[in-house]
Structures are given as C-alpha cells and as structure tokens.
Structure 1
Amino acid sequence: MKAVTLLLCTLLPFFSSVLCQEELHWVLLVAGSNGYYNYRHQADICHAYHVVRSHGIPDERIVVMMYDDIANNEENPVPGNIINRPEGPNVYQGVPKDYTGKEVTPDIFLKVLTGDSEGVKAVLGRDGKVIKSGPNDRVFVNFADHGAPGFLAFPTDMLKAQDLHKAIKSMHKNKQYKQMVFYVEACESGSMFDNLLESDINVFATTAANPDESSYACYYDDKRQTYLGDVYSVMWMEDSDKENLKSETLQSQFKIVKSETNTSHVMEYGDLSLGKLKVADFQGNYTKSSLLFTPDRKMHPTADAVPSEDVALEILKRKVATASGDAGIRHRAALHGLLKKKEQTQEFFKNVVGLVTESHLYSYLIAAPLKFSDFSCYTESIRLIREMCPGMNLVQNDYGLRQLRVLANLCESQVQSETIWAAIGKVSYESNFCYA
C-alpha cells in the first residue's frame, strides 16, 4: 500500500495533499514530579528519550518536560548523571530540556499536546516546542508521575482526567493525529482512561496500574540512596531496547509488560485494534538500537519493588539502618516526621468521614473500587483541601493522594456534596496539621 501511495504521489502530485503528506512520528515525554526521592520518574523519562531517539525520531519532534532537579542535585553522588537501572548508562546525557522547573504544569502540558504554541508563549513569555502533528502523523505520549483517582500529579498542580480527555477529543476533531498512544506510569493510572477513553477515536492507552491500586518503584541503589526506576516503565523500555520494533506489535509489548509486572495490574484502554500496529509506528522505526542501552539486567525489577507511596519511607528506613552520628539523627528525625505526617493525613480523612457518615465506613471507602459518574463533587472537594489545608501539601503528599479515594467514594455515595464540603472546612479549621 505504501508503495502504491508513493507511486501516486510521484506521478500525480496533485492527487491528494493529505495522501501524499509524509507520515511523521511525534513524542511527548513527561516526568510529573520533583525532589530527589522521586529520582525514578526523571530517570524513566530520560531513558524513554533514548528509546525513541535511538530508533530514529529526531529532536525536533520530541518534547521533554521534566523539573530537571535530579542530575545536579546535591544529594546525587554522581553530578550530571542519571541511571535507570543498577550500573546502567547515563540516560541524562543529551536529553533536551524543553520545559523545566515551574514550566512543568498541566496547563503547559495540554498546550504542548494540542499544538498550542501561541498559548505556550502567552503563559511563558517565550516560544516553546509543541506537538505539531497532522492527520497522517502518529503521536506517542509517555508520563511518569504520581497519581490519584482521576488525576496525574505535577510538581505544583494536578491534571484532571476529564481535561486530558477533552484535549484528546479536540485533537481528534481537529485531525491532529492518525493514531495516538499513551503509556502512563502512575498510581491508579487506569482511572485516567477507564470509562472515559472511547474506542473509536484512534487512541490506545496502557497504564501501570488499574484504577484502584498503586504502581511500584524498583531498583534501589545504595550509592545514590534512591530508587532508579518504576516497574512498568522499566519493563516496557527494557523490552524496546532489545526488540526489533518493526516486528513487535503494541499488543505483544503490552502482554510482555503485563506478564512481567506482577506488582500491579497493567491495563489497556481505548481502541484496542491499534494493538496490531508495530511498536515502531510510535517509538521509531530505525532498527539499529544504541549498544549503550542494550539491557544488561543485574536483577529483576520486581525483586525490591515497593508501592510508590512508600518510596520516601523506604528510603529513610534504609538511611537510618546504615547511618550513624549526626546523619543518623537527621534521618531518624526525618523518618519520624514522615510517619507523623502520614498519620495526620489519614486522621484528616477519617475525621471528614466521621462528620458525614458512620466513622467505621472509612475502611470501606479507602478500599472500595471506584467508578466515576460525576467529577464535580470530587474535584471541588480536592480544591477545598488544597485551599483550606495547605499544611497537607496535597500534590506533594503521596499518602494524601492515596486518601483521595475516600473523597471520590463519598462523592459517589448518597451524601450531599455540600455536606462533604462543609466537613472538609470544619476539619481543616480545627486541625493544627493544616497550618503547620
């Protein structure tokens, strides 16, 4: 078919401007966190850059968003270096820094995804690279973030599932892609697409977790004292590093990653028929991979995997176990502070439940599967917590993000929205934790 199209375009250039347009690959890579303990997210995204770059996608069609506070962080014992597996290569080298620091926001992400260069310039006061894809182009989007039901966390804000869905629908309406694929690494990442992403708009998505569970970090490094990667992300990239992407299909890669990721349930959404397409159609069709990134697995990624929300806790526990003197005292104090914040966060949500229904229902609400029917009560509840309880620092509070399931399930119950919002206000006002 491609040969016939090429012949028609050569002999009859007026045949069809759309038909004769070259198919292009576009890639958007996003690390939605900051802080050294979140090392793994930027490591994942830097590695993903080398996957698509080594398979032939040029920098002008790759957009990278990451806070860029890890490679030269004072805690990094190897300045200018980020690795994504034990004893692995430096994945930071050569990565474009298209959007960094405070530019890494949901608003900028959506503008970049939808090709809104004027919108980017209006917000940032400068030109910025965006996805300028057209009706014949394929788009690959990879997130590595924290998540919560219906949200992906950015350093200072949260991306709503319905806003992402709105952007995808707009791109489809405006013919900004031929097919588009999302790979999303985050806790409860399935909730970004479950019952939202249609099967008839040429979008295929896979996620690290279903709508009800955590994703997992892996590859703890004693020297760097942090986790180097996330299980799902490591699995798909190590597969892409070694496979011939021109022969492997998206569905084949999904099945491999799902099988190896036994820490969470890897999911797929949208137009599952796109699974028959080759991975090369989205990650690049150059067959000669860089030897630098050829997998050399020293251990299986799940060997030391921990739930994402427990990463900071596990790091501090390891530091306490190995440190002495002043360093040991500092680490024990930090661990005590983290455990206290975890307890206070949980107590906040328990108190909200106690004001609107039976207290013992908290255990059910934190564990019950969730199906959204209306986001309005839930999103307003989150806005109120962020406004009225700044001490929780919700976007940066991994335990707080896990607790949001309580609010989501309350909002889907028979409890009136106003009753929930009043309870949030009362608990916030009475809690010293909210103003710490």
Structure 2
Amino acid sequence: MVRKLLALLPLIVAVYARSVNEEPKHWAVIVAGSNGWYNYRHQADACHAYQIVRKNGIPEERIITMMYDDIAYNEENPTPGKIINRPDGPDVYEGVKIDYRKEEVDPKNFLKVLSGDKEGMVGIGSGRVLESGPNDHVFVNFVDHGAPGLIAFGSKFLHASDLHHTILKMHKDKRYGKMVIYVEACESGSMFTNNLLPKDINVFATTAANPHESSYACYMDKVRKTFLGDVYSVRWMEDSDREDLSTETLTKQFEIVRRETNTSHVMEYGNLTMGDMDVAEFQGKNTQMHIFDKMPIPNPNVDAVPSEDVEMNILQLKVTQAKTESERGLEKQKLEHLKNTRRRTEETFKHIVALSVNNNKDIVYDIMMERRPLLSHDCYKPITEYLRTNCPGLNLVQNDYALRHLYTFVNLCERRTPQEAIMGAIDKTAEDTDLC
C-alpha cells in the first residue's frame, strides 16, 4: 500500500502544481437592481459595464447579468432598443445577454449566484451561477439605491450582513482566488466598513460613497428626460474605456476615479494590497489589439444631483419643457405630489422615532440630527424589514428619499432602543395616521 502511494506521489504533486500555476479564469457578475424610467441610469451603467468586460475578453458564458430590462423598449425611450450611458454616446444595450429579469432580480437569487448554488437557481432565469474555482478572478459590479447597511434590490433589500456572510462562504468554499467588487449606491461604504469586509480574504472593494452620503446621478438628457449615468460608475467605466488595462493597476484606477468624482467620497475596502494588480486581471485580459475610446467625454460632475433628487429634477424639467398648458399643469401636479410625499416621509420617520422614545423631545432631536456608525446589524436588519412590510404607504424600497432617513433607525438601534418599542411605534404609526 505504501509503495503504491509513493508511486502515485509524483503524479499528485504534478496535478497540484498544475492547479496552483493554472492561468486564472475571469468571471463577472453585473447587476442593476432598480426599475422604472427615472432609474434609467442604473441599467445604462450595467450595460456599459457588460460591454467593457466583453470587449476585454471575458466570454459570455462567464458573465452573469441581472437587470429588470424595462428601459430599452420602454414607451418613453425615443430610441427603442437602444440605451446610452453618456450624451450622444454609443448604444450599450446591443449584445447584452441578460440572465435574470424582472422579479428574478432579487437579493436571494444574487447571493445564490455568488455562492454557486446551482440547485437553488433551477427554474429561475437562465439558472446560471458562478462556477469559479480557487484560482479564478471574479469581478462584481452592483448598481442601485442604497442606505446604511443595505442596498435596494428590486422590491427588497440586500443587507450588508447577508453579503458579508456570503463572501465569507465563497472564501471558505474556494469560489475565487481574488475578487473585486465595485458598488454604485448611496451610503455604499456602509456595506463594507467596520470589518464587514475582512482584509485577509483576497477581496478588494470600492464604493461610490462613504457610509453617510449620497451617490450622484449625472448626464441629464433633455430628450429622454432622465439621467444617463452615475458619476462614480461613469468615471470608472470611461477610464476603463480609454486605458490599457494591462498596464493600469486597481489602485491607479481608484485614485483616478476618486480624484475625478468631486460629488461624493469614493472609498476602498478589504485587501488593499490587491491594488497593485492590473485592472485587466478582473475586467478582462484581451490578447487582441483594440482601439481605445479617445473621444472627448463631458464632465459628469457638472449637472450631477444627489440620487434622492433625481425624480424631482426630472419633473422640473418636464414642467419647463411642456408644450401645452394642460401638459404643464399635469407635470406640476406630479411635482407637487412628489413634494408632498417627501414631507410625509419626513413626518413618518419623526413620528416613529418619537413614539419609540416615549416622545422625549430632547432624544428625538438628537436621533434626528446625529449619524452613528452602524454596528448593531441584529437590531437594524429586522427593524428595516419590519418597516418595509408594515408601512407599505412609505414605499420604502422605491422611495429613495425615504432611504435617506434610515439613519434614524441606525441611531435608535445604536442607542439600544428595544426592538419591540420601535416595531410598536411602526404599528402605531400605521394604525393612527395615514402616513403608512
């Protein structure tokens, strides 16, 4: 028996050496979680990201794409079947292979895709999941709305704690050798800060904003009457379009994007030593020569607006562009309704906070003003889910202005306010007012 094992030893060593030295395969997961014409920019960003990784050689079978897909053929699209990501830009929708659409764009499905749960995705969309191995390089790009410790994802939330556990599982199961994550969302830094992304598991992440601020939309198109992109996403993708990625490091791209994004603070997390690696190691190593995009690019910071103000700006544009008085009156009504919705949103959160702390005015003031770091995920996650399901009038996931107020729930949880008190306040608000 020992002789047989000794005889097999050179073969075992050779196989192991070959697996260790094997050229890594490149995989990409690209996600736009939102829907609706006013969120045009999110799917435009995702489609552009798809074009970049395809151009740079990642094959279709190793790119997994999730997007609602209600923009290209939307009745408001003046160029049916086409999506652009900058003024007068090229069509970024052509050739995009979408694996998961509409209600399939769901946080649970996303986490199953990342963790390689093929059985769990049977009968859903294409059913494709990451089948990467211990030597492979994985690039993840996510675009949507966000709030402290969560990302809006279709009609639900992807919580930072759930993403954290999935990444740890991927590392344990050897689902990647190195992984890079780019996130476009408000307060997106909160998905990785405070040790949510360990430094020793070979994952490098950058985000559009720090844990306490909005990300910004850009390129308002007066014909399409919507924003075409987001500043952070536009900056990294336009850099990838014009650079030779085999000679540009992750750190260099991060520094360029951080310097050129003056609307929010672009952040980096995880294993920062991976910043010495070339961008091509994650966005694709095309071995064929191709012409880099050298066209002049408009400055996306010029007309940029915070994500929560996008709908307001679109309606204001429609009012000014209205061709008839009746059309102008209709758009003004929509604008006034939106303003009322925002006022009601503020009232809802203040009412819930007040009830949670027995109407102590001093404490209410502090909670509405301070911005504590999110550490108590075991409190915050169930409370935000409770609000989402028990206050439907708030339309929490689709109401980006409401997401900007979830910091108050962070403050309640970090002050050790009992969960039952906060949930009771939500119930009381739903029962006694028309706010929910």
The TM tier, using the shorter chain, reads over 0.9
Match for 2:295: what amino acid? D
In structure 2, list runs of 5 or more residues that go unmatched: 1-9
Native 8 Å contact 1:54 1:286 kept in 2: yes
Aligned counterparts, 1:188-267, within 5 A: 188-195=187-194, 196-267=196-267
Instruction: Report the AA paired with residue 171 of structure 2.
Output: H
Distance in 1 (CA, whole Å) between partners of 2:267 and 2:207 is 5
8 A Cα contact 1:190 1:209, kept in partner = yes
Residues 378-401 of structure 1: CA distance to partner in whole angstroms, max 9, x if unpaired? 122212212221111111111111
Return the offset for 1:129.
1.5
Cα deviations by residue, 1:257-292 (Å, 9 ceiling, x for unpaired): 00111100000001111111110000011166765x
**What amino acid maps onto 1:158 in structure 2?**
F
Q: Assess, with a 3 A threshold, how the Cα gap between structure 1 residues 150 and 14 changes in structure 2: closer, same or farther.
A: closer
**Residues in 1 aligned to 2:369 and 2:129: alpha-carbon distance in whole angstroms:** 39
Which residue in 1 is equivalent to 2:386?
Answer: 384
Partners of 2:138 and 2:301 in 1: how far apart? 30
* SS of corresponding position for 1:94: coil
* Shift in alpha-carbon separation, 1:362–1:239, aligned structure 2, 3 A: farther
Percent identity among equivalent residues? 54
Q: State the Cα distance separating 1:332 from its structure 2 match.
A: 1.0
TM-score (norm 2): 0.93
The answer to whether the Cα contact below 8 Å between 1:147 and 1:153 also exists between their aligned partners in 2 is yes
Mapping 1:289-300, distance limit 5 Å = 291=291, 294-300=293-299
Aligned residues: 422
Q: 1:87 to 1:289 in 2, by over 3 A?
A: farther
Give the secondary-structure state (helix, strand or coil) at the position aligned to 2:302.
Answer: helix
**Deviation at 1:13?**
5.3
Match of 2:39 in 1: 38
Q: What is the aligned-residue RMSD (CA, Å)?
A: 1.9
Distance 2:365 2:271 in 1: 35
Separation (CA, whole Å) in 2 of partners of 1:35 and 1:331: 17
Note the alpha carbon deviations across 1:173-198, whole angstroms, 9 max, x for none: 01110010100000000000001110
Contact kept, 8 Å, 1:232 with 1:261, in 2: the verdict is yes
Give yes or no for contact 1:40–1:230 (8 Å, CA) kept in 2: yes
Q: Distance in 2 between matches of 1:361 and 1:77?
A: 51
> What is the deviation of 1:82?
0.4
Q: SS state of the match for residue 432, structure 1?
A: coil
Post-superposition shift, 1:296?
2.8
How far off its partner does 1:228 sit?
A: 0.2
- Cα distance change, pair 288–342 in 1 and its aligned pair in 2 (3 A): farther
Distance in 2, Cα, partners of 1:95 & 1:190: 28
Q: Is the 8 A contact 2:350 2:368 kept in 1?
A: no
- Is 1:65 aligned with 2:48? no
What is the CA-CA distance between 1:368 and the residue it aligns to? 2.8
> Displacement of 1:360 after TM fit?
5.4
How far apart in 2 are the matches of 1:74 and 1:411?
A: 43
List alignment gaps of at least 5 residues for structure 1: 1-8
Q: Residue type matched to 2:420 in 1?
A: E
User: Partners of 1:403 and 1:371 in 2: how far apart?
Assistant: 14
* Worse-superposed segment, 385-394 or 269-278: 385-394
Change (3 A) 1:63 1:405: same
SS of 1:395's equivalent in the other structure is: coil
Give the one of 424, 427, 430 matched to 1:425: 427
> SS where residue 410 of structure 1 aligns?
helix
Give the structure-1-normalised TM-score: 0.93
